[in-house]
Amino acid sequence: MIVVAVETPLQDAVAALLRQSDAVAAALYPGEFRRPIDPASLDAPGISLLVARLAGDAAGCCALFDRGDETAEIKRMIVDDRFRRQGVGDALLHAAEALAEQRGIATLLLEVGIRNDAAFAMYRRAGFTLRDAFAPYTATPISRFLEKRLRRG
């Protein structure tokens, strides 16, 4: 059973997941567009880190960034290689949506790279639609931007 909860980013399991995220990004998108991240940068007001666990092991994580305008961005969604194709990504996404709704968020936003087909397909299945780049991003040749309305504003 997959259990998803808000946890501190300041733990070794999260650091390991973020290293995997950075490695995947480096392999798919070498060069100027990568933005490595560490656990300390996720330990800030307005950021909630969701961790999915299977039998106690950290199987994946994602961060929900409250933008302060009834929108939130999902960032750093990663599923550990050992737990892929077991519903972890879907569980994280569902938990992020539920948390956003609890907090009065009207719209979820995210950016996904053009080579990350599995993530893009998951987001589309979950009801996310393509949109233009949103601040602070600008359009790049390697990014797609998506949104999902959670409630009518």
Residues with Cβ within 8 Å of 99's Cβ and at least 6 positions away in sequence, in order, are 6, 48, 50, 64
Taking the domain 2-106, which CATH number applies? Answer: 3.40.630.30
Strands 57-66 and 47-54: antiparallel
Tens-place pLDDT, residues 20-78: 988 888 888 777 666 778 899 999 999 999 999 999 999 999 999 999 999 999 999 99
| Predicted local distance difference test score (pLDDT) of residue 5 | 98
| Predicted local distance difference test score (pLDDT) of residue 73 | 97
Other Cβ atoms less than 10 A from the Cβ of 135: the count is 7
Tens-place pLDDT, residues 74-96: 999 999 999 999 999 999 999 99
Residues with Cβ within 8 Å of 70's Cβ and at least 6 positions away in sequence, in order, are 104, 105, 106, 107, 153
Mean pLDDT, rounded, for 123-131: 97
Q: Indicate if the pLDDT at residue 152 is higher than 80.
A: no
The band of 142, judged by pLDDT with boundaries at 50, 70 and 90, is: confident
Mean pLDDT, rounded, for 138-143: 89
Residues with Cβ within 8 Å of 31's Cβ and at least 6 positions away in sequence, in order, are none
| Predicted local distance difference test score (pLDDT) of residue 153 | 47
Which residues, listed in sequence order, are joined to residue 58 by a DSSP beta bridge? 53
